[in-house]
Amino acid sequence: EIVMTQSPATLSVSPGERATLSCRASQSVSSNLAWYQQKPGQAPRLLIYGASSRATGIPARFSGSGSGTEFTLAIDSLQSEDFAVYYCQQYNYWPMYTFGQGTRLEIK
């Protein structure tokens, strides 16, 4: 089973600054990785697929990078609406899909 590990569990960043979130796969997932944002009481929203492609309507301040086992989601110039929980998900080993445990991005 592919295990996705996200770090840190909680990240405290001030508005206007840059946040960097990490996701590590227990085996290579190539570039078959997606990122989601989830706010309290809401469904997750797709941000990034293919490790670095932004989904429709996602602002350019969100960027994804990495391949193999190490991935990063960066958020530039943090806005108030960006504080949420972020999940990574691998789909390299479809039809089995696994998520990371999430990183909570909070206001510093």
Partner 1 sequence: QVQLQESGPRLVKPSETLSLTCTVSGDSISTYFWSWIRQPPGKGLEWIGYIYYSGSTNFNPSLKSRASMSVDTSKYQFSLKLSSVTAADTAVYFCARMQLGYYFDHWGQGTLVTVSS
Asked if omega into 95 is within 30° of 0 (cis), the reply is yes
Does position 100 interact with partner 1 (CB under 8 A)? The reply is yes
Does position 89 interact with partner 1 (CB under 8 A)? The reply is yes
Tally the C-alpha atoms within 13 A of residue 29's C-alpha that lie toward its C-beta.
31
Does position 64 interact with partner 1 (CB under 8 A)? The reply is no
Out of 44, 82, 83, 105, the residue judged to bind partner 1 by CB under 8 A: 44
Does position 31 interact with partner 1 (CB under 8 A)? The reply is no
Q: Least separation, in Å, of the C-beta of 17 and partner 1?
A: 26
Out of 36, 71, 83, 86, the residue judged to bind partner 1 by CB under 8 A: 36
Residues that bind partner 1 (CB under 8 A): 32, 34, 36, 42-46, 49, 55, 87, 89, 91, 94-102
